[in-house]
Amino acid sequence: MNILDPQGPVAAAERTILVDSVTIMLAIVLPTIVAILGVAWWYRGSNPKAQYRPDWAYSGRIELVVWAIPALTIILLGGVAWIGAHQLDPARPVAGTGQPLKIQVVSLDWKWLFIYPDQRIASVNTVTVPVGAPLQFELTSSSVMNAFFIPQLGSMIYTMNGMVTRLQLRADNEGVYRGLSAHFSGDGFPGMLFDVNVVSQLAFADWAKRGAASNQLLNIDSYAKLARQSVGDARTTYRLEDPLLFQAVATQHIPAAPGPSLDREAEVSPRSR
């Protein structure tokens, strides 16, 4: 999950913003630390050269330094954040090689469902993508609000029931990376991890062909079982029966799950309350 080891253009740009921001802040933090140590050393009790001025109250030059440096720092940080926020708009298309790949993401309690409507396949807790291809994510939640994040590809984004958020990414190197939930959603939150398998274009085509022939079928009935709260689900690949399943979840034609269980509160006796 090393955010300083980006594997795509979005994550690389975010690392640049992080490094630039830290550098700008160090430009004021380090001189301030040096000034504190310097003042403490110069005005030590054993230094006869230090001038004692009990009636001193104001210095325009000191005021200029005290206010100008923080103001310039804020302006620089604001500029970096403003430009970066627009350049890294999650919905902004990312160029790549080959055809764009649409992936629909549903955050469940406590697992991730990835739907490939064009390939008619789906997977749980694992997502496979071709290297270099533009990745077009559409995200929603079947329950409480959550957050989708692949640190080495970039751009954390929220998933919310009844809404669809969009995220554009690209993976530049083959490998297996880790994705996670970045928003607390109950007892099973620590286990909401998923694998990101970045493979070649040919390997992805073979994987999609095998998935389309899977004996595991994802439809309304099997989705209802999958949406039940559970932890540690196996990484399973399904053959997608209904390519409009994601729209049914996002538009709440499939009712939202109740969210994290309240069984523990129900077990509390009225007297203890």
Residue-number span of the structural domain to which 207 is assigned:
101-250
Residue 94 belongs to some domain of the structure = no
Number of domains composing the chain: 2
For residue 66, give the CATH number of its domain. Answer: 1.10.287.90
In a shared domain, residues 78 and 178 = no
Do both 234 and 111 map to the same domain?
yes
Do 200 and 224 lie in a common domain? yes
pLDDT for residue 201 = 93
pLDDT in tens, 72-101: 888 988 888 888 888 888 988 899 888 899
Query: What percent of the chain is predicted at pLDDT more than 70?
Result: 95
Q: Which of 266, 33, 37, 7 is CA-nearest to residue 155?
A: 7
Of 87, 119, 147, which one is at a domain's C-terminal end? Answer: 87
Same domain, 21 and 121: no
Q: Are 123 and 241 part of one and the same domain?
A: yes
Please indicate, yes or no, whether residues 123 and 242 belong to a single structural domain of this protein. yes
Taking the complete model, does pTM exceed 0.85, yes or no? no
- What does the pLDDT average to over 201-225? 91
User: Please, are residues 237 and 121 in contact by the beta-carbon 8 Å criterion?
Assistant: yes
Question: What SS3 state is found at 157?
Answer: strand
User: Quick one: 257 exposed, middle or buried, by C-beta within 10 A (0-12, 13-18, 19+)?
Assistant: middle
- What's the Cα-to-Cα distance from 179 to each of 6, 15, 105, 132, 192, rounded to whole Å? 13, 17, 12, 18, 9
Residues 190-202, mean pLDDT to the nearest whole number: 93
pLDDT in tens, 137-159: 999 999 889 999 999 998 899 99
Is residue 266 over pLDDT 60? no
How many Å apart are CA 125 and CA 180, to the nearest integer?
Answer: 10
Residue 140 and residue 214 in one domain: yes
